[in-house]
Amino acid sequence: MLRLSLLDRSRTRAGHPEGDALVHSIERARTAEQSGYERFWVAEHHAVPGIASGAPGVLLAAIGAQTRTIRLGSGGVMLPNHQPLVVAEQFLMLAALYPGRVDLGLGRSLGFTAPVRRALRQEAGTDTFAADITETLAYLRGSADITAHPVAHEPIPVLVLATGAGIGIAASLGLPVVIGGPILSSPDLPDLLASYRTQFRGNTSPSIIVSTEVLIADTQEQARELALPEAWAMARSRQTGLFPALEPLSSIRSQPMTARMANQVEAHLAGMVWGTRRSVAERLEQLAERTGADEILASGATYDRDALHASDAELASLLLPRTATAG
C-alpha cells in the first residue's frame, strides 16, 4: 500500500490575518496525525503574499510541540537561500527535540520575483546544488571538517525535491526523490525515473515520492469548487504578478474573468487530482502505476477549512483505511 503524507503551504485566506495561516497549519498537522498520515511537511516561500511560511524550521518546531508521532519535514528548505551548516544545525536541533520524527527535504527554487532574489542575496552564477547537498549531508552525518551540534544519535532522512537534472543528483547521492508539478505530465518523465533507478548509488533502494494537489468531496462539482480557489489564485498571479490569498467562492464568482484567465484556471484544475472518492482513487492509482511511486505527498488547499479537513480525512480513509479508523 502507498504511504501517504501531507504538504501544507500555510496558505493565507482573505478576511483573516496572515498569522492565522500558521495556526491553521498546526491544526491541520494534528488532524493529519489522528488520520494516520506518514508525515506532515511545510514549505519555504519568501515574501509571497498568499503564503505565510518563510521559515520551515520555526514552523516545524511549533508543530512538533503539538503532535506526538507524525513525521515532520520540509518540502523543502531551498539551499540557494542558506548556508549548508545553518540548515544542518536547524534540523539537528529539531531532531534532538523530536527524535525519530524529522525529515529534511532539500530544494533549489529561487525567490519568487527579482526583488525577492536580491533580498535573499541570490546572484546568477554556477549551480552548486549538488555540492551544497553533499556538504549538508556531511554536517548531518558528522563527517565534515567541523562538527555541527547537537550531534545526531540517529540519521536524519534527507530527500531531494527535484525536476530534470535534480533527479540525477538524487540518484548519484543515493537519496529519495520528490517530484511534482509540470514534470508529472512531461513526456520525459518515464526516462528520467528509469535513469534515477538505474543510476541510483547508495546502501538503500531508490524511493520516489509524488507530490500532487488532492481534494475530495461527495460530488465532482463540489470537489471542483474546492479546487477553484487555488486555481483562481494561480490565474490571478499570472495577471497581476502577485500570488493572492485564497478567496471564497462567492468572491471569485463576483469578479470578472477574462477568457485567458478562464483558460488558466482550467489548465491548473487539469493538473490537480480532485473529485469523488472513486475518481480520486482511480487517478492516484494511475499516477502510482505510471511513476512507480512509493508515497503520495498530497498538497491540496482551499478556502473552506472544514471542507479541507474533511477532504484530508477522506483521502486518509481511502489509502489508509485501518490506520485512519484507528485514529
Does residue 260 belong to any structural domain of this protein?
A: no
Does residue 226 belong to any structural domain of this protein?
A: no
Q: How does pLDDT run across 175-228, given as a tens digit for each residue?
A: 999 999 889 989 999 999 999 999 999 889 999 999 999 999 999 999 999 999
- Identify the sign of the CA torsion 130, 132, 135, 141: negative
Core vs surface per residue 167-177: b (16+ CB within 10 A) or e: bbbbbbbebbb
Contact call for residues 283 and 293 (beta carbons, < 8 A): no
Q: How does pLDDT run across 286-295, given as a tens digit for each residue?
A: 999 999 999 9
Core vs surface per residue 14-52: b (16+ CB within 10 A) or e: eeeeeeebbebbbebbebbbbbbbbbbbbbbbbebebbb
- Number of structural domains (the chain) is 1
Residue 321 has pLDDT above 70, yes or no: no
Amino acid identity of residue 184, one-letter, is L
Q: What does the block give as the cell for 142?
A: 558528522
Q: Which domain holds residue 172?
A: 3-215+274-326
Query: Does the predicted TM-score (pTM) go above 0.85?
Result: yes
Q: What does the block give as the cell for 60?
A: 516545524
Does residue 267 belong to any structural domain of this protein?
A: no
CA end-to-end distance (rounded Å), the chain: 18
Residues 211 and 234: their CA atoms lie apart, in Å, by 18
Percent of the chain with pLDDT over 90: 84
Counting runs of H as helices and runs of E as strands, what totals does the chain give?
A: 13, 11
Query: CA dihedral defined by 187, 193, 196, 202, rounded to 10 degrees?
Result: 160
Residues 34 and 51: their CA atoms lie apart, in Å, by 25
Q: What is the CATH number of the domain that holds 203?
A: 3.20.20.30
Task: Give the β-pairing of 208-212 and 77-78.
Answer: unpaired
Q: What does the block give as the cell for 322?
A: 485501518
Does residue 246 belong to any structural domain of this protein?
A: no
Task: pLDDT band for 168, please (50, 70, 90 cuts).
Answer: very high
Q: What does the block give as the cell for 317?
A: 480513509
Does residue 308 belong to any structural domain of this protein?
A: yes
User: In the 8-state DSSP scheme, what is residue 184?
Assistant: G
- More confidently predicted of 186 and 26: 26
Q: How does pLDDT run across 84-134, given as a tens digit for each residue?
A: 999 999 999 999 999 999 999 999 988 778 888 889 888 766 789 999 999
Does residue 173 come out as left (phi exceeding 0), alpha (psi in the -120 to 50 range) or beta?
alpha
pLDDT for the residue numbered 325: 39
- More confidently predicted of 137 and 163: 137
**Type and span of the H or E element at 312:** helix 305-319
Q: How does pLDDT run across 298-311, given as a tens digit for each residue?
A: 999 999 999 999 99
**Type and span of the H or E element at 161:** strand 158-161
Residues 32 and 183: their CA atoms lie apart, in Å, by 27
Does residue 131 belong to any structural domain of this protein?
A: yes
Contact call for residues 212 and 273 (beta carbons, < 8 A): yes
Q: Whole-number mean pLDDT of the chain?
A: 93
> What's the rounded mean pLDDT across residues 4-31?
97
Does residue 232 belong to any structural domain of this protein?
A: no
Q: How does pLDDT run across 94-105, given as a tens digit for each residue?
A: 999 999 999 999
Does residue 250 belong to any structural domain of this protein?
A: no
